A = this chain, B = another copy of it.
Amino acid sequence: MADRDTEERILDAAHAVFLQRGTAGARMQEVADEAGVNKALLHYYFRSKDQLAQAVFRRALGELLPQAMEILRSEAEIESKVRGIVELEVEILRRNPFLPGYLLGELTHHPERVHEIFESVVGMKLGRLGHEVRSTIAGQLEAEAEAGRMRELPVEDFLMNLVSLAIFPFAARPLLQLMLDVDEDGFDALMGARKERLPEFFLNALRP
């Protein structure tokens, strides 16, 4: 219960509270309670709410982005990348219900934070990484198209469409649960089943 251990407990607690309430809606007192320590300790370790919020945001973004980037810029085949991204994102998001809504909310309400944090998360200049991913996949798509195995599609579309399909339903979950008339477990089951169909759906869209 001391030192590094406490700092970690606080960050865990902050993660839980900030993701559920959002940065602006989160209260330091609630984080302290959740961590089982006093409010003053939060400031001892993180100085201010803003810095704690940044640590949480960095961590949250780090749960999603680096592994996805790794898959996308690897040398694996297109089909394998599609399956890998779907499997990865769906499994992470099934276990973290607040993650996508939190991230998208923070992105729109604090867009200025993204730039600085992005780099510390993926450990690379963002422009460079984005370019690397795009040129890698663009080459693959082009080769597939020339071989007649896929129809032409801009890399930007490939990337946006893939992550849209994988992530969005989790972000809109509260609305979807009402419209599809399912509870938590029903939704989770739905997502588990959809995960199996999604790669086929996406790859089918790429057929010539």
Contacts and interface: CB of A to CB of B under 8 A. Distances in A.
Interface in A99-154: 100-102, 104-109, 111, 114-115, 118, 126-127, 129-131, 133-134, 151, 153-154
Interface string A167-189: 11101111110111100000000
Contacts of A91: none
Q: Closest 6 interchain pairs by CB?
A: A105-B105, A101-B108, A24-B25, A205-B205, A164-B168, A24-B24
Interface of A: 20-25, 97-98, 100-102, 104-109, 111, 114-115, 118, 126-127, 129-131, 133-134, 151, 153-154, 156-157, 159-161, 163-165, 167-169, 171-176, 178-181, 190, 194, 197, 201-202, 204-207
Contacts of A168: 160, 163-164, 167-168, 171
Contact of A178 (B105, B115, B153): B115
A154 B195 CA distance: 13
A174 B107 contact: yes
A204 B201 contact: no
Contact of A164 (B134, B154, B169, B204): B169
B178 A169 contact: no
A179 B126 contact: yes
A114 B178 contact: yes
A161 B165 contact: yes
A107 B97 CA distance: 12
B178 A118 contact: yes
A107 B172 contact: yes
Contacts of A173: 107-108
29 contacts: A20-B108, A21-B109, A22-B24, A22-B105, A24-B24, A25-B109, A100-B104, A101-B107, A101-B108, A102-B108, A104-B172, A108-B171, A111-B174, A114-B175, A114-B178, A130-B179, A133-B179, A134-B180, A156-B194, A161-B165, A163-B168, A164-B164, A164-B165, A164-B169, A165-B165, A167-B172, A168-B171, A201-B205, A204-B205
